[in-house]
Structure 1
């Protein structure tokens, strides 16, 4: 895997089979991905390789991601979404 993927490739990878995932992942890449550390960017790329049902369960807090670094990133993405789309 290359160090960091281009933004356009990441945005393409954010296109998921579930709209709920699209609305979390795409804005995060557009607005916050570049502020992540290289390790976090690589972790995000690894997160995008996960199956949609797993991602959905983690983002909806039905399950906890077994990888602690990815679980932390899920929380970062959820926090970003809360800041940009407060209820």
Structure 2
């Protein structure tokens, strides 16, 4: 995935076809993305390149993401929602 260098492009990439993903990604981008370090920002952008069915399975706990960095980012997002 090409680097998402503007916040507007990042917001657009966060708009998914599933409400369950939108309610996770949109607040995360607005409230937490800017505080991530550059590596985590890149990981988040890579996460956005995943297919919606995979994202849904990871975030709903139906499957474990095999990519350790992506799995860590899923956990960061979920932990933030659970606070």
The bucket for the TM-score relative to the shorter chain is: over 0.9
Alignment of 1:36-75 (within 5 A): 36-75=36-75
Deviations 1:19-47 (A, max 9, x none): 00000000000000011110110010000
1:82 Cα deviation from its structure 2 partner = 1.3
What's the C-alpha RMSD, in Å, of the aligned pairs? 1.0
Gaps of 5+ in 1: none
Q: Deviations over 1:40-87 (max 9, x none)?
A: 10010000000000000000011111110110000000011112xxxx
Distance in 1, Cα, partners of 2:28 & 2:21: 11
Deviation of 1:5 after TM superposition, in Å, equals 2.3
* Aligned positions, number: 82
TM-score normalised according to structure 1 size: 0.89
Counterpart of 1:25 in 2: which secondary structure? helix
The match for 1:21 is 21
4+ residue runs of structure 1 moved beyond 2 angstroms?
none
Which residue of the partner structure matches residue 7 of structure 1? 7
